[in-house]
Structure 1
Amino acid sequence: EERGSEVVYRLDRLGIPLVEIATGPAISSPEEAGAVALKIGQLLRATGRVKRGLGTIRQDLNISVEGGARVEVKGVQELELIPKVVELEVQRQRALLEIRDELRRRGVSREMIEAKAVDATDVFRDTSSRVAKKALAAGGVALAVKLPGFAGLLGRELQPGRRLGTEMADRARYWAEVGGIFHSDELPGYGIGQDEVNEVRKLLGCGDLDAFALVFEERRKAERAAEAVVERAREALEGVPPETRAANPDGTTRFMRPMPGKARMYPETDIRPIRVTAELLERVRGMLPEPPEAKYEKFVKVYGLSPELAKKALRSYRLDLFERIVEATKAPPQLVASTLEDTLVELRRDGVPVQNITDEHLMELFKLYVGGGIVKEAIPPVLKLLAEKPELGPAEAVRQLGLTPLSPEEAREAVRRILKRMESAIRERGEAAFSLAMGAVMRELRGRVDGAHLSRIVREELVRIAAGG
């Protein structure tokens, strides 16, 4: 976690084996990248020997386009996001190459972009910009740097909501720990007026094709920010700078750090190399789990899952949990799979923090179901409560929600009591009153009686009432 200039980190991963799997540079489309990541995840989960959940498996993507440079996007955790990250990063790199070509057409050279920031503090003495006012009131300065030939290019979109100016701001934040920068393609705006823009352009000696960047900060930070902006502008002349980037939740990427060099790659000094012998390989072959294709056949033919649900289970990071629950509890495989792959997904979409639900919660829930301590209609509300109060166990959640199952006798008595209140409508409509009666019964007994059993009781009681019983 980053807190200003400090980075807080955890040590609880020390001692946990980390496996790194690398592919060759043979993936040629966003969809293929997603498919490869899915396959690797399936193979790992099939072993039952790797940790699961968000953060336990992370994908680093090395992406490049012809004419550019390699960019590493770190830590993509959502499999579904991989194709979008690749697509948007390719879009970004192509846009940077177009900017490079335009700068070259304009005759911009590296030497023209000088690391010479000009003090523009006096221009903003009476500014309406809140950012500028706050910085200057704290003793800061306004520094401006000229970017020859960049007019109209700083505001060019590289990815949705991100521009070349955004990348310069990212660099300024990283190297100088400033809040951000302003650039001429977005001005006037943010309280900075046209007169102030004209004054800065005059101060810097800008021509029609020139742009500028502004930073409001204490002088030392402002100077470092200006240097970072200049360096990123010089890199724009080369096209795509090699760097390490982080993925945003929307699939766009942001600057994370410079690309590390070979100096960071060194042998492990505390562990001796392990020699991979023919005997070791043979022993490993005997320990290999079922491949995903074989599991799919078992899920459909042995467990009775539909082809669609079987595919969902294979793609799920709860793949091993599904099989453990079925084998340990003897719960219906269809119910277990639909709970893990449909119910939990629906709850997450509704904003329920399902990440708080543990494997132990789910195992105990299905043991409770097999033992008659919960009906399947009660599973979604119980899971919702467990997600919100993970300190509870399934049995206690059932009790707190008032969803303790009724015995067959209690269920029939409750149905009779409910139907008694609508007896005249039932006698008038006969069996056509089923939907009306079932709705009334479900409103009171949902989650306490199995739906199919409840439907059977209602039909029987309707026949009894219609017959004058």
Structure 2
Amino acid sequence: MSEYDYEALGLVAGLEIHQQLDTATKLFCACPTERREPEEAVRTFSRYLHPTTSELGELDEAAVEESRVDREFEYLAFETTCLVEEDDEPPHRIDDEALEVALQIADLLDMTVVDQAHVMRKIVVDGSNTSGFQRSALVGQDGQIETAAGPVGVEDLLLEEESAGRVEETDAGVRYSLDRLGIPLVEIGTRPDISTPEQAREAAERIGMLLRSTGAVKRGLGTIRQDVNVSIAEGARVEIKGVQALDQIDEIVRLEVRRQVELLDVAAELDDRDAAVGDPRDVTDVFADTDSGVLRSALEDGGAVRAVPLHGFDGLVGRELQPDRRFGTELSDHAKRHGAGGIFHTDELPAYGVTEAEVASLREAVDAGPDDAVAIVADDPETAELAIEAVADRARTGIEGVPEETRDATEEGTTRYLRPLPGAARMYPETDVPPVELDPSDVERPELLTEKVERYRREYDLDAGLAEQVAYGRRMPLFERAVEAGVDATFAAGVLEGTLTELRRDDVAVDRLTDAHLLGTLRLVADGDLAKEGVDEVLGTLAADPDLDPEAAVEAAGLAGVSEDEVRAAVADVVERNADQVEQEGMGAFSALMGECMGALRGKADGEVVSDVLREEIGKRT
């Protein structure tokens, strides 16, 4: 794909960054914010959710479409799950720690903080919240960040509760886990000031750096999500949800521009052909004796085949819009939203066991000519009818151009239809939580990560690469605590950014190591109770048995410190065994003997001490 002239196309993009905060408790209750494994659940309960009207009596279109799919939502509850999380008790007062972090973020984004934070309800009926809505409060407005291509305005900063984590699809609906529900989350929305894919990525990276500078945001997969709003002059605003990786944002924007350009070309061609979408029809009889496995399976289960004629669409349903995604894929996405497995269409038939004769009969059954296409859905009668109606509706919007909608990002950088764009009707006041007065004057502005890198180089003499690794790494707060506790900065940085990586490569379960494990081990070295050379083995012992503390792990690993006399005895023994080599090579034998000495002492003595003693012993014999 050649790069487009984005200025000529009128590309406009904006970002919504969602970042979990690393607070002790959830936003509206005292439950912990640690994630849990589904198998740790102690019970389950189920809900059915339906949209409600706003204060003005309006229904949100996105919520209405979501509710058309009748689904049961099952929730995994843990021993820490409370009545607030189950929506059986009103929410508590908004968490003070979360508010303080949000105010720090507002400061870093140069935002104007509102006088009072008023909690609102945002209707969400996809099951991701037990109450059927998400609570959200505006904290700041009118900020700005800088990029190489110019400033990008930051429109608003909201403090929200995180949704429940989706575990899996079930036969009845969806299973969610309540461990994630209610974790404090900030949502940062930029103005549509972004004009190139590269600027979109740079803006996201800048905001991410500012967020991590607080030292109070969660790290790891799923803790930060980017939504990207993209449009071109002749296209439409499309919201792309769930971009997980920063380095994917520019490709997401490029491919969405391509999709809109291709859809506009399709619409222009359809206009030239005077295209139209016919009424859906039952064509079950056409496939009564089919050899197509998909169609036959549906019919044997009592299903039906529904078809819609797409007049003037021949050759365009198979038009590629993005890599491996065609206009027909867009139609199929809408069918899948109503429970169908997908669609077949005449641009790809005969295939999948459907014969030329069946295609001819299909065209005849729906009065389709040679310039027309036909799309079919095979499923139970109700699902097939709903799905083919959705296909027909999407085909009609294809004649008009690019529809406004919400889309879901894929791992490949493409997108698929998710739901219509939400409207203002999904928001209304939360009456169970009182407003909170906000005073940003008492909030201390955190040091930026870029500033930390320079300080680490200046104060701790770390090289540029290691300083950046530490500052931008997830264990930056732990590094600072270790240095404050008297641990050598270079050693602490090496363990946190080097040793742990090496242990992970050796299949050591380093994710089981807590901050207490790591800090305690570093302090043992600083206090002279553990040799640096024993750190790997102690951390491996702790990873294997996280219930141990570092002191116990040292004992379990047999790494309790040895006296200087014991070091001298061990070194002298090594030198004696290699007396001939020492006599011939002198200090040239040092490297080989040093390794043998460290092996004899098994990490029980500091390398510098062993080195000094070995040099002394060799010196005695030369």
Q: TM-score range by the shorter chain?
A: 0.7 to 0.9
Is residue 337 from structure 1 mapped to residue 499 from structure 2 by the alignment? no
Does 1:283 find its partner at 2:446? no
1:143 and 1:443 map into 2 onto residues whose CA distance is 75
Cα RMSD of the aligned pairs, angstroms, is: 4.1
Tell me the distance in 2 between the aligned counterparts of 1:252 and 1:274.
41
- Equivalent position of 1:370 in the other structure: 526
Asked whether the equivalents of residues 343 and 376 of structure 2 are also in contact (C-alpha less than 8 Å), the reply is: yes
Structure 1 distance, partners of 2:323, 2:512, is 32
2:475 aligned to which of 318, 322, 331 = 318
Deviation of 1:23 (Å): 1.6
Q: Aligned partners of 1:210 and 1:325: how far apart in 2? A: 71
- Distance in 1, matches of 2:236 and 2:486, equals 54
1:46, CA displacement in angstroms? 2.7
Counterpart residue number, 1:118:
282
Q: 2:516 aligns with which of 360, 368, 374?
A: 360
8 Å CA contact 1:42, 1:314 repeated in 2: no
| 1:285-313 deviation per Cα after TM superposition (whole angstroms, max 9, x unaligned) | xx222233432321110122222222333
- Secondary structure, counterpart of 1:20 in structure 2: strand
2: CA distance, partners of 1:445 / 1:192: 75
Shift of 1:405: 6.4
The alpha-carbon deviation at position 12 of structure 1 amounts to 4.8
Q: How far apart in 1 are the matches of 2:421 and 2:341? A: 23
TM-score w.r.t. the length of structure 1 is 0.78
Q: Please, which moves more after superposition, 390-399 or 220-229?
A: 390-399
Q: Helix, strand or coil for the counterpart of 1:9? A: strand
CA distance in 1, matches of 2:474, 2:303: 51
Residue in structure 2 matched with residue 236 of structure 1 by the alignment: 398
Larger CA deviation: 434-443 vs 67-76:
434-443
Aligned residues: 454
Shift of 1:220: 0.6
Determine whether 1:78 maps to 2:245: yes
Q: Which amino acid aligns with 2:287?
A: V
Cα deviation for residue 262 of structure 1 reads 1.1
Q: 1:138: Cα distance to partner?
A: 1.7
Alignment-derived partner of residue 22 in structure 1: 189
Q: Using the TM superposition, give the Cα deviation of residue 191 of structure 1 relative to its aligned residue in structure 2, in angstroms.
A: 4.0
Partner in structure 2 of residue 159 of structure 1: 322
Shift of the alpha carbon at 1:194?
4.4
Which of 206, 215, 220 lines up with 2:382 in the alignment? 220
Matches within 5 A, 1:132-211: 132-174=295-337, 176-211=338-373
2:554 and 2:560 in contact (8 A); partners too:
no
Distance 1:151 1:391, change over 3 A: farther
> Partner amino acid for 2:256?
E
- Partner SS state of residue 454, structure 2: helix
Residue 426 of structure 2 corresponds to residue 264 of structure 1: yes
Moved more, 441-450 or 13-22: 441-450
Question: For residue 342 of structure 2, what is the amino acid of its counterpart?
Answer: G
2:195 equivalent to 1:39: no
* Alpha-carbon distance in structure 1 between the residues aligned to 2:256 and 2:508: 31
Output the amino acid matched with 2:196.
S
CA contact (8 A) 2:277 2:308 kept: no
Q: Structure 2: how far apart are the matches of 1:381 and 1:102?
A: 68
User: Counterpart in 2 of 1:255?
Assistant: 417
For the 8 Å contact 1:30–1:82, the answer to whether it is kept is: yes
Give 1:449 deviation, angstroms: 6.3
Match of 2:463 among 278, 302, 306: 306
User: Shift of residue 260 of structure 1?
Assistant: 0.9
Aligned-residue offset at 1:378: 5.8
1:384-420 residue CA offsets vs partner (Å, 9 max, x unmatched) = 77667655655666677x5736747767777788899
Deviation at 1:263, TM superposition (A): 0.1
Cα separation, 1, equivalents of 2:269 and 2:599: 67
Between Structure 1 and Structure 2, the one with more strand by share is 2
Aligned to 2:265: 98
Compared CA separation, residues 263 and 431, structure 1 to 2 (3 A): same
Partners of 1:387 and 1:92 lie apart in 2 by: 48
In the alignment, the residues of structure 1 paired with residue 319 and residue 580 of structure 2 have an alpha-carbon distance, to the nearest angstrom, of 72
Percent identical: 46
Displacement of 1:153 in angstroms is 3.2
Amino acid at match of 2:281: A
The answer to whether structure 1 residue 404 and structure 2 residue 567 are counterparts is no
1-structure distance, mates of 2:552, 2:354: 60
For the 8 Å contact 1:372–1:405, the answer to whether it is kept is no
Counterpart of 1:88 (choices 246, 252, 255) is 255
Change (3 A) 1:68 1:454: farther
- In the alignment, the residues of structure 2 paired with residue 227 and residue 54 of structure 1 have an alpha-carbon distance, to the nearest angstrom, of 38
Letter in 2 for 1:125: D
1-side partners of 2:380 and 2:465: how far apart? 60
Structure 2 counterpart SS, 1:8: strand
Distance in structure 2 (CA, Å) of the matches to 1:155 and 1:386: 57
1:411-449 Cα offsets, whole Å, 9 max, x none, are: 777778889999999999887777777788888988666
Could you tell me which runs of 5 or more consecutive residues in structure 2 were left unpaired when the two chains were aligned. Answer: 1-165
Deviations 1:143-175 (A, max 9, x none): 33333333333333333333333332222222x
Within 2, Cα distance between the matches of 1:374 and 1:230? 71
Displacement of 1:228: 1.6
The separation in 1 between residues aligned to 2:597 and 2:538, in whole angstroms, is 20
Match of 1:223, SS? Answer: helix
Which amino acid in the other structure matches residue 19 of structure 1? V
In structure 1, distance between residues paired with 2:311 and 2:579 = 87
Residues 436 and 154 of structure 1: CA distance in aligned 2, closer, same or farther (over 3 Å): farther
For the 8 Å contact 2:277–2:396, the answer to whether it is kept is: yes
Task: Kindly indicate whether the alpha-carbon contact (under 8 Å) linking 1:425 and 1:433 is maintained by their aligned counterparts in 2.
Answer: yes
Between Structure 1 and Structure 2, which shows a larger proportion of helix residues? 1
Counterpart of 2:157 in structure 1 is none
* C-alpha distance 51-424 of structure 1, shift in aligned 2 (>3 A): same
Q: Which sections of structure 1, spanning at least 5 residues, go unmatched?
A: none
Greater Cα offset, 76-85 or 295-304: 76-85
Q: Displacement of 1:127 after TM fit?
A: 1.1
What's the offset of the Cα at 1:362?
A: 3.0
Judge conservation of contact 2:280–2:306 (CA < 8 Å) in 1. Answer: no
- Counterpart CA distance in 1 for 2:466 and 2:186 is 30
- Output the CA distance in 1 between the equivalents of 2:350 and 2:568: 74
Pair 1:83–1:194, CA change in 2 (3 A) = same
Matched, 1:245 2:407: yes
Instruction: In structure 1, give the amino acid aligned to 2:316.
Output: L
Q: Return the letter of the residue paired with 1:3.
A: E
Aligned to 1:3: 169
Tell me: CA distance 1:27–1:454, structure 2 relative to 1, closer, same or farther (3 Å).
farther
With over 3 angstroms needed to count, the CA separation of the structure-2 counterparts of 1:34 and 1:333, relative to structure 1, is farther
Offset of residue 283 of structure 1: 3.2
Query: Is the alpha carbon distance of 1:150 and 1:346 closer, same or farther for their aligned partners in structure 2, counting shifts above 3 Å?
Result: farther
Shift of 1:343: 5.1
Judge conservation of contact 2:534–2:559 (CA < 8 Å) in 1. Answer: no
Change (3 A) 1:447 1:281: same
* Farther off after superposition, 340-349 or 150-159: 340-349
Aligned-partner Cα distance in 1 for 2:296–2:598: 63
Query: What is the alpha-carbon distance in structure 2 between the residues aligned to residue 189 and residue 398 of structure 1?
Result: 66
CA contact (8 A) 2:287 2:295 kept: no
